[in-house]
Amino acid sequence: MRLIFFIAAMALVSSAHALPASPTAWRDSGRDAIRGVTVGPIENAYHPGRGYGTAAYERTLDESRDWGATWIAITPFGRVADLSGTGVDLTFEAPFAKNESDIRLAITQAHDRGLHVMLVPHLWVESGEWRALIDPKTDEGWARWTASYGDFVKTWARVAEDEHVELFSAGVELRSWVTSGRAPSFSELLVQLRGIYHGPITYSANWDDVQDTIILGALDVIGINAFYPLADRDGATLQELTAGGERVRANVSKLAATWNKPVLMTEIGYTTRPDPAIKPWVWPDAMKQVRVDERAQALAYHALMRPLLDEPSVMGLFIWRVYSDPDDVSQEAEWGFSPRGKLAEQVVRDAFAARWASDGETKRSGLLW
């Protein structure tokens, strides 16, 4: 019975797509490629006046626009105790009502600057473990988890609808759910979200499980958190790294053709250390005795972005990430992901200034980067 419902739900969602079925649907609809920057929150309540909706955040928006960004991603968090999946607490660092008000203002501030917005509700796991491994184990546990997560994501979908957000991600790296026999319940949730939010919907899959993600047919846009390794040895040359980027492009192009949908890199980034294209997903806080290497970060960005800009099925990407106060460096180590003020920033600026294969007719003419 659940399988029958799943198939019916997929058909219902497909009929409601905001984009036509095509790997180049974004470009063909006349839209330009998404040149995006993720703006992370200031993850500490002891930093008043520096989070979303503040004057500090407005400076980050202005900087992002100066880079050539046309979109930003905003990431409200819900709190999860551990991987047992007992439920999502909407309170994060501040009361929910405060966070919601700040997010609404942050969206308005972006729109006032001509920036489009993707809203991406994230889960923060207090135990420090990866959200992709959440597993309530039993049918009853999964039912409780699905209901609680559904309340969380639908709450933010209402905000997205009210504030005219242009793109919504229904989840981030939920591998244990969307690559398993539990996936039909997520598809059911997508149907419910479509009754709340009427723009295009994506889901941010991890780069190494997107091929196994069962719900892709129910999305408008295939989203990938694109922390792809580009080499398998230390000291790889730019030629080797770029070959890795070309392999990513080929795989993404095949994925888009298989599902007949455009692909969005919902997160893309490399840390500022030697050989960041090897295990690029390693979190900066987990690193010890790191040597800062701006050149290596810049080369990794270049090696992945250049092939993607030439791929018409890649409708854009979001740089991971800068913070909602550009002057607050306490949120991330110097060897972290942010390209701000580093050599990688210039790589991003150059890429954003170029014409992309997925640009619509409105983008100025020019050579691909």
Give the per-residue pLDDT at 363: 61
Contact between 266 and 169 (Cβ < 8 Å): yes
Judge whether residue 11 has pLDDT over 50.
Answer: no
The tens digit of pLDDT for each residue in 114-152 reads 999 999 999 999 999 999 999 999 999 999 999 999 999
Domains in the chain: boundaries = 2-16+23-353
- Cα 247 from Cα 240, distance rounded (Å): 11
CATH tag, 2-16+23-353: 3.20.20.80
Compute the 3-state secondary structure of the chain and give helix, strand, coil in percent, each to the nearest 5.
Answer: 40, 15, 45
Calculate the CA 14 to chain-centre distance: 22
Whole-number average pLDDT of the chain: 93
Confidence of residue 330 (pLDDT cuts 50, 70, 90): confident
What pLDDT sits at residue 47?
83
For residue 96, with 0-12 CB atoms within 10 Å meaning exposed, 13-18 middle and 19 or more buried, which class applies? middle
Is 315 in contact with 27 (CB distance < 8 Å)?
yes
Reported as a single tens digit per residue, the pLDDT across 46-65 is 788 899 999 999 999 999 99
Q: CB neighbours of 195 closer than 8 A, spacing ≥ 6?
A: none
Tokens for 173? Answer: 């790296």
Pairing of strands 116-119, 221-225: unpaired
What's the whole-number mean pLDDT along residues 287-313? 97
Q: Six-digit token pair at 16?
A: 């409601």
pLDDT tens per residue, range 65-91: 999 999 999 999 999 999 999 999 999
Distance CA 118, CA 73 (A): 5
Q: Which tens digits make up the pLDDT trace of 263-274?
A: 999 999 999 999
